[in-house]
Structure 1
Amino acid sequence: MSATPAAMPTPAQAPISKPQTGTEFLESIRDDGREVWIDGERVKDVTTHPGFRNSARMIARLYDAMHDDANAATLRAPLHDREGWTHPGFLAPRSLEESVQQTEAFAHWARIGYGWLGRSPDFIGAAFCPSFEVEADYFGEYAGNAKAYAKHLREKVSYIGHAIVNPPIDRSTPQTAKDIMIRVEKETDAGFYVSGAKVVATGMSMAQEVLIAHHFIPVTDKKYAPVFSIDINTPGVKMYCRRSYELDAYKSSTPFDTPISSRADENDSILVLDNAFVPWERVLMYDPAKANTFMAVPGQAARGLLQAGVRLAVKLDFICGLFMKAAEVGGTKDFRGVQAGMGEAIGFRHMVWALMAAMTRDLMPWRDQYLQPNAVHGHAYRVLAGEQYSKMRQNILKHVASGLIYLPSSAHDYLNPEVKPMLDQYARGSNGISSEDRTKILKLLWDTIGSEFGSRHELYEMNYSGSQEQVRVDQYVRSFQNGTAAQMLGLVDTCMGEYDLNGWTAPDLINFGQKA
């Protein structure tokens, strides 16, 4: 008898690629050696420090939502190059259906943070990750790095922040002070060492990586022109944080009194690189001509504006709902003036959602089989958002008025049996709403609109897309680039071409004094 042939071994299958979970995210930043400073002290672990721990857990919620099978249709998209899935925003859409899913994914994540996480991981994922892949040749000799980094980002769904603004040491001169700009100190066979600083590095204390790039003021010297990513826990990367609203709440408040600022505080920091090492494989550009145009990489602006606009739209959903609750608890919901104020806020909300719907569905051909949102609608959002957000905030303060002033000092008042009966009687709401519920609603409104946290968010939205003047200049310049100006001017020219000093030149119109 012949022996039965042995089965041939099959090659090991590559594991199915999935993004990190919330637990994996928290473990990756736990006591990892990052250098974060606040109140004169170095933070050993941002996952346990009371100034960062709950905000970090809100980010972890985003990752866990992707791994919840109930959200699979919205928060999972198959990878294009291997078996597995990622967040839809980390891929360039190839169809209207994929574009709609991407927008729904942005909205789903934004709702987890109630719209208050302005730099959630999908912002960079949306703006940069697909462009690094689709427009890899834009990066010249570093095209391979760009594609490899895009693959890394979409497979892990890294929490990557970005820092592009130089410290404004002296705005009276055309050049930023050279000793503060990010610059290459030394090159080696393995990479280069960089020093310098960036400001308004939002959420960086909790991020895993940061993208360093150049923006606005042109550079001419190669040493000032690197564009790269770097791990936050790299030796020499230092973050000097602003005041922590989460820490303030921990020290002197309760979740009842500060329900958003105590868990959705994306601390803005001064990011300093002090002779930090960057491997060559993390370099994306290293040339003044390239670095000066990094923010113009095709696709980046439109995709970033889509994610940002959807996030703001969700935030407006939250604020409008809270405004309506405040009017009900204050007994003013039927007042004509208050209804007009609420209607104005809702109208702002509708405009932002409409612009995002237009971006989602009015798709422009990109490269290969890919599509991108029409940036025209996104740039309209840029002009609208900052000024209207400030107006809406003042509108709410005006209509809710003193209801935001006479509030119990803290939740502890209701836990005191001597104080609670007095509050139940004299601080109750209208329409049968209890004192505790009235206070809960108005404390939430004050935390998001009236507090220092609320003021920070007004300033944040006002300057989200850059200076208000520059945003408007950009709109004007782009109207000539995209043909809108020609269309508008042409419409006027057509009108003026139908008459002259002698009357109508259009053959179907009757001049004055002529019979019909």
Structure 2
Amino acid sequence: MGIRTGAQYREGLRDGRTVYVNGDVVSDVTEYPAFKGIITTMAGLYDAQHDERYLDVLSYVSATTGERVSTTLMPARTAEEMNARLRCEYLRTDLTYGLMGRIPDFVNAFVLDSAESLAYMGKHEAAAKVREYLEFLRANDLATTHALIDPQSDRSKPDAPQEALQIVHETPEGITVRGARMLSTLAPVAEEIVVGPFVPRRPGEEKFALVFAIPANTPGLKIVCREPYDTGSGEFDQPLTSRFEEGDAILIFDDVFVPRDRVFVGGDLDAYNGLLPNFPGYTGLQSAVRGTAKLRFLTGLAGVVAQANGRTKSPRHQEEIGELVGYVGVAEGLLQGAALDCARQIQARERRQAGETLTPQPGEPLQDTPIGLSATMVFFPHVLARAVDVVPMVAGSGVIAMTEKDFNNPELTGLLERFMHGPDFPAERRLQVMRMAWDATGGQFGSRQALYERLYSGDPVGNRLRFFGMPKRSECEDLVLRLLTS
């Protein structure tokens, strides 16, 4: 089949999946009002693959089938191939303004990383299964998401909770699993669910060491959604919510059978615990690209808000927005570095496996620090939070705005146009901008986005502690010791 259209994606969602929203069972997610906006956005991404302007960026010709398939599933070995991936990631996140944290590109990158990681660890049977799954995704162009986190039954304990997803029965044909995983963003409107690791498992927890993939309509899988934020107010009052409300869900596996060819890791602690640490960087690159797109959007939003209320000439607000513009420059530079770093990591592994000893040459860093990972875990949580602070600071009380219906009330239209305009900014457009600023930073959608970015790659304190323990710190300290002893 190769790349699909938006209509084919919509039809694929009519698969009999079990979805719960506000206590009700949703029999057809394509007809549920709160999902229509995000489905339209996702369908637009599928249609973009067939746009002549984007065709060669968003797709490539598969050497296996001769069909055009998504570039988000393209393995890369060279800097040129990685740059092709970067262009695709940049365009797709630009089309969604960086506001979809779990656009399928992320999980596609996650699966590519998983294949490389398992092969690097010598888990060749598991790696072969993941590569077969990648071929399946390329051939069918399915929308993927994942579930990584154990239920929050008791976070005071380091052990896997008994409510966590686990193997309860095993046969030569496959495994039966029971338990729950969270927080599966996009699950209501995805077609494939990839279950992967997040925290390490301990000896004795082999039944919890699971990596597999199943269709969203697998019998026994219950997708229990959080409260939707799209209230049907429309694109004027909820310009972001109405388009990019991905939805989050807890996945309950009520004795779900997983065929053996879909079980990538089933009880192997070494493979499970080593999967994420040995990622070469596809996932980090995609995350950095998405973070950059969102930073560009928030920076632009702050600038347009300043135009709407006359603060473009205020040095105070120029300084705030200028800081964000500087961060955008850093972020876009990081993308080039992350792409090159990922290609270099893959090439270095292949050379090591071929028996080469890789020794840093004079003028080269002695220790690796994955650029995409650093950007995702340390840089973007900080700068995106800063951007979210700047937008309402520039907007002031203007974000507390009336609705489109108020403006269209014949008794108010003239008065609002008279009193609510900005400098060279009609009142209706100013109101539209302020509604967007509120949607991005203040309403349910914006509040969820802020929390999501803060915890996007896990506990921020834990992430910084992780970097404290990296060899790069010792390399930096050695500079000081070298000078002290010179």
TM-score by length of 1: 0.86
State yes or no: 1:79 paired with 2:58.
Answer: no
State yes or no: 1:433 paired with 2:425.
Answer: yes
1:284 to 251, 255, 264: 264
Q: List aligned pairs for 1:63-462, cutoff 5 A.
A: 63-129=46-112, 131-132=114-115, 135-136=118-119, 138-178=122-162, 180-219=163-202, 220-246=204-230, 248=231, 250=232, 253-286=233-266, 287-299=268-280, 302-362=281-341, 363-366=343-346, 376-381=370-375, 382-405=377-400, 407-408=401-402, 410-430=403-423, 432-462=424-454
3-state SS, counterpart of residue 360 of structure 1:
helix
Q: Is the 8 A contact 2:295 2:387 kept in 1?
A: no
**Higher mean displacement: 44-53 or 488-497:** 488-497
For 1:274 and 1:324, the matched residues in 2 are separated by: 49
1:216-254 CA distance string (max 9 Å, x none) = 1414233222211111101111111111112x2x1xx22
Alignment correspondent of 1:506: none
For 2:114 and 2:225, the matched residues in 1 are separated by: 30
Q: CA deviation at 1:131?
A: 4.2
Q: Which amino acid aligns with 1:402?
A: S
Q: Which amino acid aligns with 2:279?
A: P
Q: CA deviation at 1:134?
A: 7.8
3-state SS, counterpart of residue 263 of structure 1:
helix
Q: Is the 8 A contact 2:168 2:177 kept in 1?
A: yes
Q: Structure 1 residues 436 and 445 mapped into 2: Cα distance closer, same or farther (>3 Å)?
A: same
Q: List aligned pairs for 1:4-19, cutoff 5 A.
A: 18-19=2-3
Q: Is the 8 A contact 1:169 1:176 kept in 2?
A: no
1:29-69 CA distance string (max 9 Å, x none) = 12x11111111101111111011122012111111111222
For 1:311 and 1:192, the matched residues in 2 are separated by: 35
For 1:133 and 1:87, the matched residues in 2 are separated by: 19
Q: Is the 8 A contact 2:305 2:391 kept in 1?
A: no
For 1:391 and 1:143, the matched residues in 2 are separated by: 40
Q: Cα RMSD over matched residues?
A: 2.1
Q: Structure 1 residues 368 and 150 mapped into 2: Cα distance closer, same or farther (>3 Å)?
A: farther
For 2:466 and 2:447, the matched residues in 1 are separated by: 26
3-state SS, counterpart of residue 214 of structure 2:
strand
Q: Which amino acid aligns with 1:289?
A: D
For 2:337 and 2:481, the matched residues in 1 are separated by: 28
Q: Is the 8 A contact 1:139 1:284 kept in 2?
A: no
Q: CA deviation at 1:154?
A: 2.6
3-state SS, counterpart of residue 128 of structure 2:
helix
Whose radius of gyration is greater, 1 or 2?
A: 1
For 1:279 and 1:368, the matched residues in 2 are separated by: 34
| Identity fraction in percent | 29
1:355-399 CA distance string (max 9 Å, x none) = 11211234414259989xx86322331212113322221222223
Q: CA deviation at 1:84?
A: 2.2
Higher helix proportion (structure 1 or 2): 2
3-state SS, counterpart of residue 241 of structure 2:
coil
Unaligned runs of 5+ in 1: 1-16, 499-516
Q: Which amino acid aligns with 1:278?
A: V
For 1:19 and 1:240, the matched residues in 2 are separated by: 29
Q: Which amino acid aligns with 2:288?
A: G
Q: Is the 8 A contact 2:117 2:276 kept in 1?
A: no
Q: Which runs of 4+ in 1 moved over 6 A?
A: 368-371
For 1:245 and 1:254, the matched residues in 2 are separated by: 12
For 1:366 and 1:217, the matched residues in 2 are separated by: 24
TM-score by length of 2: 0.91
Q: Which amino acid aligns with 1:236?
A: G
For 1:399 and 1:130, the matched residues in 2 are separated by: 40
Unaligned runs of 5+ in 2: 352-367
Q: CA deviation at 1:153?
A: 1.9
For these two proteins, the number of residue pairs brought into alignment is: 465
1:164-207 CA distance string (max 9 Å, x none) = 100121122221321x1111122234212111001111111111
Q: Is the 8 A contact 1:46 1:52 kept in 2?
A: yes
**Higher mean displacement: 330-339 or 107-116:** 107-116
Q: Structure 1 residues 159 and 393 mapped into 2: Cα distance closer, same or farther (>3 Å)?
A: same
For 1:130 and 1:76, the matched residues in 2 are separated by: 19
Q: CA deviation at 1:323?
A: 0.8
Q: Which amino acid aligns with 2:313?
A: D
For 1:375 and 1:231, the matched residues in 2 are separated by: 35
For 1:308 and 1:215, the matched residues in 2 are separated by: 16
Alignment correspondent of 1:11: none
Q: Structure 1 residues 189 and 279 mapped into 2: Cα distance closer, same or farther (>3 Å)?
A: same
**Higher mean displacement: 206-215 or 82-91:** 82-91
Q: Which amino acid aligns with 1:377?
A: I
3-state SS, counterpart of residue 24 of structure 1:
helix
3-state SS, counterpart of residue 364 of structure 1:
helix
Q: Is the 8 A contact 1:86 1:157 kept in 2?
A: yes
Q: CA deviation at 1:103?
A: 0.9
